[in-house]
Amino acid sequence: MLKHKFNNLFGLPELEFTKESSQHKNTLRLHCRKTSKAEVCPKCTTLSKVCYDKRTISVQDTPIRNRTVYLKITKRRFFCKACKKPFTEPIQGIIKGYRTTQRFRKHILWFATHFSDLKKVQEKCRCSSWLVHKAYYEQAELEVRKLQNPWGKTVGIDEHSFVRNTKFGYR
Ligand SMILES: [Zn+2]
């Protein structure tokens, strides 16, 4: 089925493909959403089933057959009874606040390591030179960390601390 095909392409296991709404032949706009019954509050880890709002975010993903791919993800807002505060559900494979998927950033790193011509990388990845630089250094650092810490099972936590570091200008 088409659904399964798309989900495999994403490599984003939590997301379910709903529909396509591409308006341009060079661009693929794929709509998806998370189907979990409940979400865990990121602050206190209380399970919450009360979804009260939704919003759609646009995230760039790895190009498919030279077409720029945008994932239109409907993210749900939950209300945590313990904190008495709302939170937006996280999506595995997309760092909070990022406009690109982790697999796309890895894809950029691969191109940036195999092609010396920046223009070529931009063309292949269909993104800005800014993103190529950013993804390159960030993903390269993650790779180095993995090598330095062979016991680390918690790449997810590393990624989060990395995000915090970039905010304070540390690389
Ligand atoms: Zn909470």
Among the listed residues 102, 95, 104, the one whose alpha carbon sits nearest the alpha carbon of residue 125: 104
Is residue 160 included in any domain, yes or no?
no
- Contact of 76 with 37, CB cutoff 8 Å: no
For residue 110, give its domain range. Answer: 100-150
pLDDT digits (tens, 9 = 90+) for 22-59: 888 999 999 999 989 999 999 999 999 989 999 999 99
Mean pLDDT over 124-136 rounds to 93
Cα-to-centroid distance, 16 and ligand 1 (Å): 26
Domain co-membership, 66 together with 36: yes
Rounded to the nearest whole angstrom, what is the distance from the C-alpha of residue 86 to the centroid of ligand 1? 8
Same domain, 116 and 133: yes
C-alpha to C-alpha distance for 70 and 25, rounded to whole angstroms: 13
CA–centroid distance, 46 to ligand 1, in Å, is 5
Distance (Å, rounded) from C-alpha 48 to C-alpha 82?
Answer: 9
pLDDT grade, residue 116 (50/70/90)? confident
Q: Which of 26, 61, 92 is the last residue of a domain?
A: 92
